[in-house]
Amino acid sequence: MELRVILVRPRNPDNIGAAARAMANFGLKDLALVGAFASDRGEAEKTWKAEASVSAIKAMDVIESSRLHASIPEAAAGCDLLLGTSSLHYLNPERDVLLLRDAARYCGERGAARLGLLFGGEKTGLTREDLSYCSAVVNIPTLPSQPSMNLGQAVAVACYELAGRGRAEPRAGRKPAPPAPPEEIARAAELIAARLAAGGQGHWTGRAQLRELRQGLLDARLTKGAMTALRLLLKT
């Protein structure tokens, strides 16, 4: 299984560099960032890459190949499955919760060849809105007295579990069909909301209602083929 690390609204370039270094420790190179550091995206990339290089020891290839994205669906393009991380200390998520040690098996059971793993910013972590794009929430068990981890440390632990030690066990029987990509699920939710609005149900275009639609589609565990059929139906 391939792994893309997605950092959402990171604040400190040193932590981005530390995350890149942790990825390099386990042979991972696919790093994406969400949230602008400045009004000009190109200038922002240049700035944080220069600053992150200090802590990205022997991991500059990870930094140089990474990209800054405007949204989570954009950053997740090409992923089969999205999981979001949370300490659960300040948030009661509206998604199923997995312990990190169970994440690889969860992905294997869903036939995911490429996983996108979201990490929130240092100050607030991932919000409910962020997690509404995810199939489940991953938790790294820590003491209640010190629940949150440094961003770079959290990435290191997750990379070790998913790319170093954690492996999904082989499954007998039929190979799972590829799941619908997260960005297609997000687009389908918007199409459903638009169709409902056109039928006089305009309240479905609100953020909370869109989040509910996204989560419902994720919970349905639609295959890629089923999502294609649904999208064609919505466009007719």
> Tell me, what DSSP letter sits at residue 206?
S
pLDDT at 11 over 70: yes
Residue with tokens 């996108």: 116
Give the single-character DSSP code of 134. Answer: S
| Contact indicator for 67, 89 with CB cutoff of 8 Å | no
Model-level pTM?
Answer: 0.79
Instruction: Give the CA distances from residue 56 to residues 13, 176, 215, in Å, rounded to whole numbers and listed in that order.
Output: 10, 37, 35
Encode pLDDT of 12-25 as tens digits: 888 999 999 999 99
**Predicted local distance difference test score (pLDDT) of residue 47:** 65
With a pLDDT cut of 90, the percent of the chain lying above it is 58
Residue 81 contacts residue 116 (beta carbons within 8 Å): yes
Q: What is the mean pLDDT of residues 179-206?
A: 88
Tell me the CATH architecture of domain 2-165.
3-Layer(aba) Sandwich (3.40)
Encode pLDDT of 94-128 as tens digits: 889 999 999 999 999 998 999 999 999 998 899 99
Structure tokens at 105: 């098996």
Flag whether pLDDT at 85 surpasses 90.
yes
59: Cα separation from own chain's centroid? 21
User: In this predicted model, which residue has the larger pLDDT, 133 or 54?
Assistant: 133
Q: What is the DSSP string of 221-234?
A: T-BHHHHHHHHHHH
Q: Which residues of 188-225 are buried (b: 16+ CB within 10 A; e: fewer)?
A: bbbbbbeebeeeeeeebeeeebbbbbbbebbeebbbee
Return the pLDDT at 197: 87
